Amino acid sequence: MLSAQLDSLLARIVDSGLLDDPIVENGLVHGRASIDAAGAVVTVNVDPELEDDEDELDQDTLIEAISGILSVSESRWRAVINEVVDDIEDAVDDEPVIEQIDLRDDLEATSVVVFADAVLLAFVAPKQFPDSRILVQLDEELQVDGVEVRDLDATS
């Protein structure tokens, strides 16, 4: 039954045209898409969070969430980036920075995980954080809900 729900979600995503070459794998729908406001093509993983056959899949909410992050306005994207940079700069405080590039210019969006009630963005900052990735959780309104800098070799 889970596979039928995932196949149905995949069909909706294919019909929407939101993702390039989407497939179902490991309980997720994967594809690639462009976030125009970020100027980036990213991997998109749609996680319907189906635990068992009893779970109800809300396809409309997932499609809206995918569409929302992919069509985010430039001003909202800049606000997210600014909040992420402020959070990270506050956390590192006065630690010496080797690379003097502005973190805003170093951040590159690489992937998005879409849930019904949240979006998780992954960034790299190859000059300032070459051995890390930056994870940013957004709520349903695309407001920053959390920022984490994680070592690349750290397991999830």
What are the distances in angstroms from CA 119 to CA 101, 129, 143? 27, 22, 10
What's the confidence (pLDDT) of residue 52? 55
What's the confidence (pLDDT) of residue 154? 61
The closest of 18, 152, 139 to 80, measured between CA atoms, is 139
What's the confidence (pLDDT) of residue 97? 56
What's the confidence (pLDDT) of residue 51? 73
Tokens of 101: 């590039």
What's the confidence (pLDDT) of residue 34? 97
pTM for the model: 0.88
User: Domain boundaries in the chain?
Assistant: 2-36+46-70, 74-151
Distance CA 104, CA 31 (A): 26
Give the pLDDT of the chain (156 residues) as one tens digit per residue.
578 889 999 999 999 999 999 999 999 999 999 999 999 999 999 999 887 555 678 899 999 999 999 999 999 999 999 999 999 888 876 555 555 678 889 999 999 999 999 999 999 999 988 999 999 999 999 999 999 999 987 644
Instruction: Give the list of residues 6+ apart from residue 12 with CB closer than 8 angstroms, or none.
Output: 59, 63
Q: Which fold has domain 74-151?
A: SHC Adaptor Protein (3.30.505)
Contact 88, 147 (CB under 8 A): yes
What's the confidence (pLDDT) of residue 94? 58
